[in-house]
């Protein structure tokens, strides 16, 4: 390693004592944050002008760990903290007060206390600090789509798409230029996944129109959306708990809580909001003749899973407009539905970042299940066998063996919900739902939340012995835990939920290639 190419400078800490030099590398200077700071850790100050060097990061109550530059010219820092604890990393270009620390990464230490993060080497000076706790990633956002300003990714035609037989890598850029596991890049990557799903599966979900009005009277929320000189009206019955609020709320598809038992929510003072999806598009659309088509006559090719989530987003717009009259806590909104409405809930939660908790119940093919995996299972809802009124008809070109040419799959649809909370409920008694595929897909999606150190914000429970869309008592604890943690902020609620009957299924073979440039199954190299 060419240590001469690394420029380092000494800095003083708040006690005006010279910072200690690393015993492993005298060119790396360690700066201690004030004892009064929540960080109470050590900072590495660097000016990087080359691709290869080595330095050290440490802390007051953790072991010193070696840090290196990888072959792909990324800075990699390993930190030994407390097992299971969350750590946030931040960076700054200067230590001159006031220091502008930018949240960069958050991760949970593994069972050995190891925390690792990486960053691209820059030609400018960079400082890093690791501190306990997690300010990042947030639980919910104030805007519908935080990645709206990113340019569209490359969207090739079918003939030009590469074959990827295992599950696609959710961290890989669409243009194939590399991948990033850093949370700072997730908004951009999420925007790419959104664009791919819209382009190849459902059509564009229209943006929020500028002309929206809303009112709340006698328990009914009315939202009027005007576009193209046409107005679409949504009405929603709202059940409010007793008291002044503001109340967390669930948007239930077709009923106040979807297909979930209402007492789970009423007993916890959670408001219930019904989404009447037929006011936007019928269950089986007549293309060009649906209410939404009056507003967007050029989008007759859109699938229902672009239209219905648009309607849920407009309902949330209405809630924002009537805050003085309707006491809903807009930072604690959930959405839920079952079967075709389970898919709807999943698309709605993926495409609107104002939704804090998504509960997708028995969503099957086109929902949590991955198209690629379902293709291997037999008589299940595969891409070629789904209802194409719900999707673009052109999606049919990916049926059969062409499914491996999809540039994304539904583990990435679920990943779009991250860093917010998602609970997936399955029922293997109904073979058509392809719950084995849903299980593999959930395992793959979970890695996104785990990578960001927030694995407890994603859970799945696949339980048999009950009717379709009839939540059994055995699944109530999972639902109640997610509701309590993400709608009521009860931190003690246990949302580490991975319940399934697929002990012999080798889900890892579908994702083992991630992080390499060779998308093949193990043994097929």
CA distance linking residue 7 with residue 15, whole number of Å:
24
Report residue 68 as tokens: 């290196």
Other beta carbons less than 10 A from residue 416's beta carbon:
27
Rama region for 396: left / alpha / beta (φ>0; ψ in -120 to 50; rest): alpha
| Marked catalytic residue, from 259, 339, 404, 441 | 339
What residue has token string 């709605």? 348
The values of phi and psi at residue 488, to 5°, are -115, 0
CA distance linking residue 287 with residue 271, whole number of Å:
34
Report residue 245 as tokens: 């609020």
> Are 41 and 130 in contact, with CB atoms under 8 Å apart?
yes
The values of phi and psi at residue 6, to 5°, are -100, 120
Give the residue among 6, 118, 25 at the shortest CA–CA distance from 64. Answer: 25
> Are 287 and 306 in contact, with CB atoms under 8 Å apart?
no
Report residue 479 as tokens: 């639902």
Give the residue among 112, 47, 65 at the shortest CA–CA distance from 85. Answer: 112
Residue by residue, what is the 3-state secondary structure of 416-450? CCCCCEEEEEECCCCHHHCHHHHHHHHHHHHHHHH
What residue has token string 């914000």? 457
| Marked catalytic residue, from 24, 283, 466, 468 | 468
Report residue 523 as tokens: 């043994």
> Are 322 and 215 in contact, with CB atoms under 8 Å apart?
yes
> Are 372 and 166 in contact, with CB atoms under 8 Å apart?
yes
> Are 83 and 111 in contact, with CB atoms under 8 Å apart?
yes
Catalytic: 65? Answer: no
CA distance linking residue 314 with residue 229, whole number of Å:
17
Q: What is the DSSP letter of 473?
A: G
Catalytic: 411? Answer: no
Q: Which residues are catalytic?
A: 339, 468
């Amino acid at each position: 390693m060419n240590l001469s190419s690394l420029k380092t400078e000494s800095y003083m800490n708040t006690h005006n004592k010279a910072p200690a030099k690393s015993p492993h590398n005298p060119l790396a200077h360690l700066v201690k944050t004030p004892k009064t700071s929540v960080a109470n850790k050590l900072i590495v100050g660097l000016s990087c002008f080359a691709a290869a060097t080595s330095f050290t990061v440490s802390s007051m109550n953790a072991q010193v760990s070696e840090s290196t530059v990888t072959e792909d010219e990324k800075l990699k820092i390993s930190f030994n903290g407390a097992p299971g604890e969350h750590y946030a990393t931040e960076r700054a270009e200067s230590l001159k007060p006031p220091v502008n620390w930018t949240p960069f990464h958050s991760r949970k230490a593994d069972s050995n206390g190891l925390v690792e993060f990486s960053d691209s080497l820059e030609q400018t000076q960079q400082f890093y600090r690791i501190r306990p706790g997690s300010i990042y990633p947030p639980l919910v956002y104030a805007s519908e789509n935080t990645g709206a300003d990113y340019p569209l990714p490359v969207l090739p035609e079918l003939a030009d798409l590469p074959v990827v037989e295992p599950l696609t890598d959710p961290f890989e850029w669409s243009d194939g230029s590399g991948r990033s596991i850093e949370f700072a890049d997730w908004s951009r990557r999420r925007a790419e996944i959104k664009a791919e799903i819209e382009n190849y599966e459902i059509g564009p979900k229209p943006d929020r129109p500028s002309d929206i009005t809303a009112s709340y009277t006698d328990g009914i929320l009315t939202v009027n959306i005007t576009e193209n000189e046409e107005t679409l009206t949504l009405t929603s019955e709202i059940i409010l708990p007793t008291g002044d609020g503001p109340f967390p709320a669930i948007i239930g598809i077709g009923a106040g809580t979807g297909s979930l038992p209402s007492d789970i929510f009423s007993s916890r003072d959670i408001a219930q909001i019904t989404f009447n999806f037929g006011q936007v598009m019928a269950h089986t659309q007549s293309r060009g003749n649906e209410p939404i088509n009056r507003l967007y006559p050029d989008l007759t090719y859109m699938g229902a899973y672009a239209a219905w989530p648009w309607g849920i987003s407009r309902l949330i717009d209405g809630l924002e407009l009537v805050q003085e009259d309707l006491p809903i806590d807009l930072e604690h909104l959930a959405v839920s539905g079952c079967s075709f409405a389970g898919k709807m809930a999943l698309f709605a939660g993926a495409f609107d970042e104002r939704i804090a908790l998504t509960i997708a119940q028995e969503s099957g093919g086109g929902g949590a299940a991955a198209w690629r995996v379902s293709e291997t299972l037999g008589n299940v809802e595969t891409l070629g066998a789904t209802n194409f009124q719900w999707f673009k008809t052109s999606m049919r070109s990916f049926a059969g063996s062409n499914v491996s040419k999809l540039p994304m799959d539904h583990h990435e649809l679920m990943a779009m919900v991250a860093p917010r909370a998602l609970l997936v409920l399955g029922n293997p008694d109904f073979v058509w739902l392809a719950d084995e595929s849903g299980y593999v897909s959930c395992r793959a999606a979970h890695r996104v939340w785990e990578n960001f150190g927030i694995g407890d914000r994603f859970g799945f429970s696949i339980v048999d012995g009950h009717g379709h869309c009839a939540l059994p008592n055995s699944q109530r604890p999972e639902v109640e835990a997610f509701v309590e943690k993400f709608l009521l902020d009860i931190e003690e609620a246990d949302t580490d939920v991975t319940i399934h009957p697929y002990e012999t299924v080798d889900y890892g073979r579908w994702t083992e290639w991630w992080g390499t440039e060779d998308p093949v199954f193990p043994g097929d190299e």
